[in-house]
Amino acid sequence: MPRPSNPDVRRRLLEAGLEHVHTRGFAASGIKDITDAAGVPKGSFYAYFPSKDAFSAAILEHYWSDIEARLLPILAAKGAAQERITRFFHALADEHESRDFLLGCLIGNLSLELGSSSEPARTEILSILDRWGEALTTCVRSGQDGAGIRDDLDAAELADLLIEAWEGAALRGKVTRSRAPYDRLETVTIPALLR
């Protein structure tokens, strides 16, 4: 009779996998490296994830769920919509800075690495982009109708543009190991897109 799954083991695998994949990339992160870091036998991996591809999607979900819980509430807080949007992206940039800008955004990283080769990862990235876009759309929409944000473009389109601008800033910040692209996003790009 198979042993019941252990949520703690699954969590440890996800955390170890997230660290390895975010630091080294997906292809360079072996299952044995991940299970060793999680402190579980290699064979245990397949009790929780049917494949490494399925694991990539689970890592992405784990990564985004954390951001969603901690940072997306900024977008729903009180205050002017543009200020909330700027605070949200500033908080994301602070997290990148805490790791010296070496890691970049896992969503962008895995979009580039797996977007055309792993259907589970691509599907999860699309889901994350939809959820992120919905939160930004709601915030943008709250600032339209004379409340400071342009209304000549649909709120969802503006939200997509903000996400695309963020991913570009995160990519450049990773390469330059600098906050400058993030600062330009906050001081130039966000105001230019929203006003």
- pLDDT at position 147 is 84
Q: Whole-prediction pTM value?
A: 0.93
Residue of 56, 54, 75 whose CA lies nearest to 17: 56
Neighbours of 168 (CB within 10 A): 15
- pLDDT at position 4 is 60
Q: Give the chain's radius of gyration (CA, Å).
A: 18
Ranges of the chain with pLDDT below 50: 1
Neighbours of 190 (CB within 10 A): 21
- pLDDT at position 72 is 97
- pLDDT at position 3 is 57
- pLDDT at position 79 is 95
Give dist(CA 171, CA 93) in Å, integer: 12
Give dist(CA 180, CA 166) in Å, integer: 12
Give dist(CA 132, CA 134) in Å, integer: 5
Give dist(CA 114, CA 152) in Å, integer: 35
- pLDDT at position 117 is 95
Domains and CATH numbers, the chain: 1-49 (1.10.10.60), 52-194 (1.10.357.10)
pLDDT per residue over 108-117, tens digit each? 999 999 999 9
Q: Give CA separation, 79 vs 87, 155, 186, in Å.
A: 11, 18, 17
